[in-house]
Amino acid sequence: MLNEEWNMKRNKFTKRSSFLVVGLLLSAVFVALLGRMFYLMVIIGPEYKALAVEQQTTKIEINASRGRILDRNYNELAINEDIYRIDLDLKTLRQSLSGSKMTISQLADKLSTILNMKSEDILKVLNTTLPDGLPANSALLKRQIEKPVVDQIKALNIRGFVVSADAKRNYPNGNFVSSVIGLVNNGGNGVSGVELSYDKVLSGTSGSETYEKDAKNNQLPYESPKYTQPVEGKDVVLTIDSTIQQYAEQAAQKALDDNKAKAVNIIVMNPKNGEILAMANKPSIDNNNASSISSSSKEAELLWKNPSVQDNFEPGSIFKVITAASALENNIGINDTYSCKGSINVDGQIIHCWDLNGHGIESFGDIIKNSCNVGFAQLGSKLGKEKLVATAKKMGFGQKTGIDLPGESSGSLRSTALINNVDLAELSFGQGVAVNQVQYMAAFNAIADGGVWIRPHVMKDIAHVDDTSNEVVDSGYANYGKKTVYNAELASQLRQYLLKVVTEGAGKNAFAPGLDIAGKTGTAQVADPATGKYAPGKYMSSFAGMAPVSDPKITVLVSVDEPSGSSYYAGDVSAPVAKVLFQEIFNYMALKGEKNVLN
């Protein structure tokens, strides 16, 4: 009995254990299934869903029309030329090829001739795959295609080519203000100038059309296409005045030719608000020809570079405006006399004046008027490096202005710890310091506008065309960065000294009766990048001017790089260019009315 009872208990225990094991196994399987479902639905579900959507739908991108670039009077500087783009509905294309006698390689060869593309590049597009390696449903074949090319593709009678409107950037005035406008690449994206700095504004937002297809690539009858309308790009209205720009372009080209110079750069500004009315750089190039210019050629640099913003140069004597400003601000040396015998010995190094015969005994006003290097070397010694560098820093030297154009250089201004007596003497007359044109003009404008520094800029407004074809301003430039960097009364005194430079001194070739032009000439040696020393016989000749002196409305900077004519002095090379510019600009302002030009 005991054995029988024991066997019964053992069998019951065994059954319970078996049920427990089976239950645990079933639970484990259930948990595993739940885990697998969680993994498929939550972890990688979105990825599979995206792949399914990719395989079951066709999405065609619809480009937004790029905004225009206009001058301040709404003259067109960059516009769109209506052309076409070819997208591929790869499902339909593959189906169409399977029903014809043409292979995909043969199609690539035919398209190669029509599109002027390599067959292997076209094959890559035709065989576009998804990230998982499956064939893709759509791809872009080529943009910016003329209508005759589109007609040739249609003549192939192969389904799957989707033709839509596209736009090619066109610069109707050729190389006019080209370094400011910049250009776009083949994809329609800005790569230089305003086209780059305001690319997001100009580009707008692309739209799309998406629809589902069945296994035979037919659009599902119950599914309406999902259409997202593109948001057109807005127009960028520049501060540039095309008439003043034309004056500057002509003056720059003439100066380039007359002086057989390496380059000529001119800026015209409104000192009261930092607006750049003209920015001319010669030589220049037509951005419409960008695609035909080799990237290794000399002309290629002209497509990408704006010398007025990106190139540094030693300002030479136009920097004496800053040294004189520091002297006035610190009340040092302005009542002293200076002796110039044509040279000065500074710690054993002979520094020459441009007039080797010397200027004799001079006042503070005389050394400015005569642009005397010896006098300014003496003034620099009186000031000391700390005060001179402090004034230069406050005026913005050695730092970017933040102009709304790409690639701005910061220039260079040595720290006081690295400046010895010889360096100080040379700095006082503009050697050993590097600036770009807009950086110098921002400081010069502060003297013209009562000591207020304002950020130079080329954008005036962001606008769009409304339903009645009227231009509507959405926003204006607001990033002025205004700050007072100099005393207004001292700025007025300094302008009177600069007036005498033009009426009596080194800048007299810029004198124009009735305009009251104040300014400063500058002739600086040019450094040789290979040696780090000054290149013999190479100079940068500049003139910075403002008018009228009592309340300047216009400022001008003319820089002639490496003039090789009969003279390289700025008084002979750059000052006459500025004179003609001032006369043309003020005649134009009188004709149109000052407010109509500057507002």
- Residue 457's pLDDT is what? 98
| 53 falls within a domain | no
Do residues 342 and 405 both lie within one domain? yes
Residue 567 sits in a domain of what CATH number? 3.40.710.10
- Least reliable range by pLDDT among 143-147, 157-161, 210-214: 210-214
Structural tokens at position 458:
């080329």
Domain total for the chain?
A: 3
pLDDT of 474 above 90: yes
| 48 falls within a domain | no
Do residues 409 and 481 both lie within one domain? yes
Do residues 15 and 63 both lie within one domain? no
Mean pLDDT of 157-169: 83
pLDDT of 403 above 90: yes
Do residues 65 and 38 both lie within one domain? no
Give the pLDDT band of residue 48 (cuts 50, 70, 90).
Answer: low
CA 265/CA 183 separation, integer angstroms: 20
- Residue 129's pLDDT is what? 84
Quote the domain boundaries for residue 482. 242-306+313-598
Mean pLDDT of 570-589: 96
Query: Please, what is the Cα angle at 542 between 541 and 547, to 5 degrees?
Result: 155
Structural tokens at position 113:
């001739």
Do residues 196 and 247 both lie within one domain? no
SS3 string, 65-114, reads CCCCEECCCCCEEEEEEEEEEEEEEHHHHHHHHHCCCCCHHHHHHHHHHH
- Residue 205's pLDDT is what? 81
- 517 versus 109: which is more confidently predicted? 517
357-396 pLDDT, tens digit per residue, is: 999 999 999 999 999 999 999 999 999 999 999 999 999 9
| 338 falls within a domain | yes
**Percentage of the chain lying above the pLDDT 70 cut:** 86
Do residues 16 and 114 both lie within one domain? no
554 with 247: CB under 8 angstroms? no
CA 438/CA 448 separation, integer angstroms: 15
| 98 falls within a domain | yes
- Residue 145's pLDDT is what? 87
Average per-residue pLDDT for the chain: 88
Domain endpoint, select from 174, 204, 234: 234
pLDDT of 29 above 70: no
Domain endpoint, select from 234, 252, 276: 234
Closest to 55 (Cα-Cα) out of 156, 149, 133, 151 = 133
Give the pLDDT band of residue 196 (cuts 50, 70, 90).
Answer: very high
Give the pLDDT band of residue 56 (cuts 50, 70, 90).
Answer: low
| 526 falls within a domain | yes
Coil, strand or helix at 397: coil
521-569 pLDDT, tens digit per residue, is: 999 888 877 777 888 889 999 999 999 999 999 999 999 999 997 789 9
pLDDT of 139 above 90: no
Structural tokens at position 490:
């001292």
pLDDT of 282 above 80: yes
Give the pLDDT band of residue 156 (cuts 50, 70, 90).
Answer: confident
| 169 falls within a domain | yes
Mean pLDDT of 259-274: 96
Do residues 441 and 354 both lie within one domain? yes
- Residue 221's pLDDT is what? 52
pLDDT of 12 above 70: no
Give the pLDDT band of residue 19 (cuts 50, 70, 90).
Answer: low
Domain endpoint, select from 199, 234, 269: 234
Amino acid residing at 321: V
486-511 pLDDT, tens digit per residue, is: 999 999 999 999 999 999 999 999 99
215-230 pLDDT, tens digit per residue, is: 544 555 555 567 677 7
- Residue 535's pLDDT is what? 84
- 210 versus 71: which is more confidently predicted? 71
Do residues 298 and 443 both lie within one domain? yes
- Least reliable range by pLDDT among 11-25, 126-140, 382-396, 425-439: 11-25
pLDDT of 574 above 90: yes
Give the pLDDT band of residue 333 (cuts 50, 70, 90).
Answer: very high
**Percentage of the chain lying above the pLDDT 90 cut:** 60
| 248 falls within a domain | yes
Residue 201 sits in a domain of what CATH number? 3.90.1310.10
554 with 586: CB under 8 angstroms? yes
- Residue 25's pLDDT is what? 72
Do residues 117 and 150 both lie within one domain? yes
556-570 pLDDT, tens digit per residue, is: 999 999 999 778 999
Do residues 581 and 473 both lie within one domain? yes
pLDDT of 206 above 90: no
Report strand pairing: 483-484 vs 452-453.
Answer: antiparallel
Do residues 250 and 302 both lie within one domain? yes
Place of tokens 């059309």: 209
456 with 401: CB under 8 angstroms? yes
| 50 falls within a domain | no
Do residues 72 and 11 both lie within one domain? no
